[in-house]
Amino acid sequence: MGMRICAFIGDMYRDYSTIIIKTLQKRALEAGHQIDIFGNCSVPSENPLHAEGLKSILAIPTLSTYDGIILCSDTLHHAGLNRELLDNLHATPDLPPVVSIRSEEPGFCNILPDNRGIMYEISQYVIKKCGSGDIGFVTGRSDLWDSAERQIGFENAMRSAGYTVEPDMIFHGNYWFDQGTEIVDFFLRDDGTLPKAIICSNDYEALGVSDELLARGYRIPQDIMITGIDNIDLATSHSPSITTSEISATALATAAIETLEKIHEGGETDINVAIPGRIYTRESTGDVPSERDIREAYNRIELIQRKYYDKTRNFVLLSSDFEDALNYNDSIKLVLNCIRSLGLFKKCYICKYTENTREVCGYFNEGDENIVTGLGYDSGKLLPDEFDAKVTGIRIFLPIYYKNEVYGYTVMELDPEIQGFVDEQLEFILMLFGQTINRLQLYKRIFEFGDIMELYVRDAMTGLYNRRGFDNNISALFKNGTFGKYKIAVASIDMDGLKTINDEYGHAAGDEAIKEVARCITSSLSANEFAARMGGDEFEAVLVYMDSERISRFIKSLRTAISDANEKLKTDYTLSASVGICEVTEWNALMECMNKADKMMYQEKKSHKKT
């Protein structure tokens, strides 16, 4: 009987993630597995506050209901997404077996490319070709394990050949195209010469360096050799083609799912499984590949150009279409039409978050018309029962959000007959949909209320700031000089027992409880401090102070305010809240501090439950 597997994968339209998903789909269809994939197409913004929409999708699956989990944490490294996900996995009771691909994670089974051996092999090859140690090296991202392993492989190969690696031989890269100019400037000497070769930690870096060198008039490989790793399609079609080493994503994904299958059947497996690589020598190191049809190469380039021209034109038309959507139902119809037109999915469900539940607001099934509806379901489920029957194949879950505002998610079942895959168009459609929802909410407030901008950043139920207001106000503290003159701390506050209040006394009582806790928080704040309702029963307060006792005073004041409210209201339920507070030491550490405050809050919540 097939397994039910959860997978976490980011950067879905990059070659590596695409191959992983296609391999998982192939195996799912062969073995009767259902694989639910949660992640993102890419990360469009480096602002840590805007990562909330991407984080939301990683938290929705109930992990204990799956037979196994596949984790691609190095594709989710932006804005600390992987760190929070790993914390959540380790904290989950009854966690099923977890297999990590390409990143060694303690406590889990790991399917790992032999990064050190792969780089050692290709470095040895380049050293032999050059007959010299005059070789530059470009690392990957400093926060990724495989990057460090590849650097060690390069340094070991140089030492084995009798050469010393100096700091000016190593450029610290980011695994992407965009540093080509910086890399070439780094290695370019005062006399205009370059090293005999530049070894890059992946193909994207190698392509960026190659294009920059060609633009400056250097010849590859006559003036300088270039190599990469990963063997992406562009490395083959590029002129000159790039010498590289393939770490087969297919082999990694196959080993991962076979490991889960073995564990599920009661078998034993190694904690770490190493996957070897293979060198492909090409034109960038002076190696002529098998006969190359120049006309075919030009035709392929023309086809790529036409595709990107068509996509660019589609992006312009899509922007115009979404601008014309002036109500929520129209936007639902439009997003369903756009996703269906991609021809990738058999089924699609648009799900939105409401105050206490979730709602399917639109969907299509293969061969049926698009349906706009309002079918509510429990917030602990991914879909209503009638739409959540077991499938064989892959479902992809992507967030619907705008910056740090989270509206819901999409569920899309891949069509196994289609060879194409997720690309920029899907991400663009969902991004426009999120922007449209945000715009429609603003329009509604404009037509109904006077103070437009104030309501744009306020939570309608409590009058506290919403996520957008929190974003604006805490950003201002760091920009206007407040930080530095004063200390700043974030307080994570979560109501206790809201679900019980909703279940036993109704959602109206739950709403009143939320509003009363909000009033208690507000009464506990000093001048220049503020609070926000982040969603549901979750609040965030920002304390601005010079006196280190301010934190304890705030907690005491909040406890007193809640106690007084219970005495005054005399409801059948008792208001309570859990609090965690962390001082913010710098802007870039904001999300880390908020996570620490959350953990402290949850520890207190656990103690409340015990009592």
Q: What is the pLDDT of residues 114-139, one digit of tens each?
A: 999 999 999 999 999 999 999 999 99
At 424, is the pLDDT very low, low, confident or very high (cuts 50, 70, 90)? Answer: confident
The predicted structure's pLDDT at residue 42: 75
**DSSP-based three-state secondary structure for 580:** strand
Cβ contact 279:122 at 8 Å: yes
For residues 172-186, give the mean pLDDT.
95
The dihedral of CA 550, 552, 556, 562: what is its sign? positive
For residues 185-209, give the mean pLDDT.
96
Q: What is the pLDDT of residues 586-600, one digit of tens each?
A: 888 888 999 999 999
At 313, is the pLDDT very low, low, confident or very high (cuts 50, 70, 90)? Answer: confident
* Phi/psi-derived region of residue 75, left when phi > 0, alpha when psi is between -120 and 50, beta in every other case: alpha
Q: Is the pLDDT reported for residue 601 higher than 90?
A: yes
Nearest to 245 by CA among 280, 275, 210: 280
Cβ contact 153:227 at 8 Å: no
Domains for the chain: give ranges and CATH numbers.
1-96+325-450 (3.30.450), 115-249+278-292 (3.40.50.2300), 457-610 (3.30.70.270)
The predicted structure's pLDDT at residue 302: 67
Q: Is the pLDDT reported for residue 56 higher than 90?
A: no
For residues 79-86, give the mean pLDDT.
84
Integer angstrom CA distances of residue 581 from 51, 383, 528, 541, 591: 21, 35, 17, 9, 13
Say which residue the tokens 């194409």 belong to: 420
Q: What is the pLDDT of residues 456-512, one digit of tens each?
A: 788 989 999 998 889 888 888 887 777 778 899 999 999 999 999 999 999 999 999
CA distance 47 to 446: 28
Cβ contact 432:71 at 8 Å: no
For residues 297-309, give the mean pLDDT.
62
pLDDT mean across residues, the chain: 89
Tell me whether the omega of the peptide bond preceding residue 240 falls within 30 degrees of 0, making it cis.
yes
The predicted structure's pLDDT at residue 306: 65
The predicted structure's pLDDT at residue 86: 92
Taken as a whole, the chain contains a residue count of: 611
The predicted structure's pLDDT at residue 450: 44
DSSP assignment of 77-142: -GGGHHHHHHHHHHH-TTPPPEEEESS--TTSEEEEE-HHHHHHHHHHHHHHHHTSS-EEEE---T
For residues 533-539, give the mean pLDDT.
92
Q: Is the pLDDT reported for residue 4 higher than 90?
A: yes
For residues 250-272, give the mean pLDDT.
93
Instruction: Give CA 242 to chain center in angstroms.
Output: 29
Angle between helix 550-569 and helix 507-523 axes, rounded to 10 deg: 140
For residues 542-560, give the mean pLDDT.
93
CA distance 332 to 437: 10
Cβ contact 247:229 at 8 Å: yes
The predicted structure's pLDDT at residue 124: 97
CA distance 223 to 193: 9
The dihedral of CA 252, 257, 258, 264: what is its sign? positive
Which residues are within 8 A (CB) of 55 and not within 5 positions of it... i.e. 6 or more apart? 81, 84
Number of C-beta neighbours around residue 61 at 10 A = 17
At 439, is the pLDDT very low, low, confident or very high (cuts 50, 70, 90)? Answer: confident
